[in-house]
Structure 1
Amino acid sequence: MVFRARVVFFSLLMVVTTAFGQEGYILKENIPYYPETVRSQDQYLKERCKLDVYYPKDSISAPVVVWFHGGGLENGEKNIPEGLEEKGIIVVAVNYRMHPKVKHPVYIEDAAAAVAWVFKNISEYNGSSDKIFVSGHSAGGYLASMVGLDKSYLEKHGVDANKIAGLAPLSGHTITHMTIRKEMGIEGTQPIVDKYAPLFHVRKDAPPMLLVTGNRELELLGRYEEVAYFYRMMKVLGHPNVQLMELDGYGHIMVYPALPLIVNFVKEITE
């Protein structure tokens, strides 16, 4: 389903049923997601590869959103998006190593290690490993797509990517990320689809997907169009649950209005 959300209508999507939200949350910060044997070998990994878990203290088997921050794989910091707070959802905010201190595919490997940690540990925080959603904005959306579509990254941790309940990349590259292209000596205006592109890994059996971008005229270079092509190819393959939403009135910075869409997506899949 392609949906073009105009600003005058979007306020309706901001309404989330009170039954899905509840009071009483705990925030655990700076939890390492690599084992000590790995952390001891790399100081930058030890400093950077941590996550925060924000969870409702009285819930049982709550749904989970793993959130990757944006910043072009070059900057940014983990955060709990305000629009996901107090919605009955566990939010896991992840830091990962960044360019230029590391190069591809380290970013994706870190993202996969964090998601694998969630699968193996989220029950300790009242979460369900059957209700894990992976999301993020921009570079974070790209990482969410790569971890969910290229099964090889999670397989290294003994996790089947198809166990992810849903993927919700916000304005993420579906071609090879611009920073990875830069590392290859390729200009940002030259699109590439290789094994580091979500488009390379389109498949019918992928988890349900919610694709959200800003308005095509306000977005970053071709971002709506590449996401729309990804959507079309998933439909051609016969993927049963992929949605594309374009937010009129918003450019690339469209996290705040998109968060209620993620909450509704989680509800649709889990309730």
Structure 2
Amino acid sequence: MRLFFFRVLPATVAAILLVVAAHEYATARPSRRTQDVAYVPTTDPTFDPERHRLDVYTPKDHAAAPRPVVLFIHGGSWNSGSKNFYSFIGRRLAKQGIVAVVVNYRLAPKVEVPAMADDCARAVAWTVAHIADYGGNPQRVYLMGHSAGGGLAALLATDDRLLARHGVAQHAIRGVFLDDPAGLDMFDYLQKMQYPGDEQYLVPFGKDPAQWRDVSALYHASAHTPPMRLFIGGQTYPSIRSSAEKFQARLTQLGQQPTLTVLPGKKHAAMVLQLYWQHNVLYKELRKFIGA
């Protein structure tokens, strides 16, 4: 069994996109999407005109106070995925009174995971600096990620160097909401190479075990790591379940109080696709987590 991200048949993808398109207009009415904002200066020599962009989703109704902010990082095995597919998450969050930021980041084989993490850190830096212009509270920024995006979100929250490199204090991240996260302990995973096709992950992670460890959130967790909420599917991949349990145990050992919730019957792909429905349990728990 492979680590993840779901690879669905083209017909299935088409069916999903038709459902999304059919409901997009109704969903869009309570929200406003500001699309393709560059979070890296276009003059930067590393600027990627597609991948260094994000979308901001804001509620249309007036709020007396700045709103909480959720920055969502998509999954896709570190080699695929796009913010455009996850517009439904931005819309659903905005409909619930949250300012949502959905980001792109560079992918393998063009770059390896350290560069992906740096991209996401730069997106966080942009958010802290500019989200007030969109009605968001820069002092209430939370991270959310699924699959590879969950691993990147956890890494941003645990490895102090990533945000500090861009002038952002670690406490700027108020909490992290992980949806079936992958890559929490790639050091252990890539050493074992248990499943057919695992060699593919040497493309985004490289061949140096020291780098595998350095980009695994488990080994950066500390007593000052922001609060964590982890959700995994009852039928997700064994490697995701075991690494999530290990991550929770490590945080608990450090004096944290992370929660790990198993959603019965859910497979890896379903853990993100269920976010299409506004009243999903994940949104309910997210609202409580961020105080929205």
In the superposition, the TM-score normalised over structure 1's length comes to: 0.81
Q: Which residue among 211, 233, 243 is the counterpart of 2:259?
A: 243
User: Out of 63, 71, 76, which is 1:66 matched to?
Assistant: 71
3-state secondary structure, aligned to 2:229: strand
Aligned-residue identity in percent: 31
Match of 2:5 in 1: none
Report what 1:264 is aligned to.
Answer: 285
Q: Larger % of helix: which?
A: 2
Alignment of 1:11-160 (within 5 A): 24-38=30-44, 41-42=45-46, 45-57=48-60, 58-59=62-63, 60-78=65-83, 79-80=86-87, 81=89, 83-160=92-169
Aligned residue pairs: how many? 239
Between the aligned partners of 1:269 and 1:104, the Cα distance in structure 2 is: 28
CA contact (8 A) 1:193 1:199 kept: no
Query: Structure 1 residues 268, 95: closer, same or farther in 2, change over 3 A?
Result: closer
Distance of 1:175 and 1:196 partners within structure 2: 8
Q: Secondary structure at the match of 1:66?
A: strand
Q: 1:262 to 1:146 in 2, by over 3 A?
A: farther
Q: Is contact 2:78-2:113 (8 Å) kept?
A: no
2:237 is matched with which residue: 207, 212, 220? Answer: 220
Asked if the contact 1:33/1:49 (under 8 Å) is kept, the reply is yes
CA distance in 2: counterparts of 1:47 and 1:65, whole angstroms: 21
Shift of 1:104: 2.9
DSSP-derived class of the 1:165 partner: strand
**Greater than 2 Å deviation, 4+ residue runs:** 82-85, 176-186, 256-271
RMSD: 2.3
Paired amino acid for 2:32: I
Contact kept in structure 2, 1:63 and 1:266, CA below 8 Å: no
Question: What amino acid is aligned across from residue 120 of structure 1 in structure 2?
Answer: A
Aligned counterparts of 1:71 and 1:25: Cα–Cα separation in 2: 26
Contact 1:164 1:207 in 2 (8 A): yes
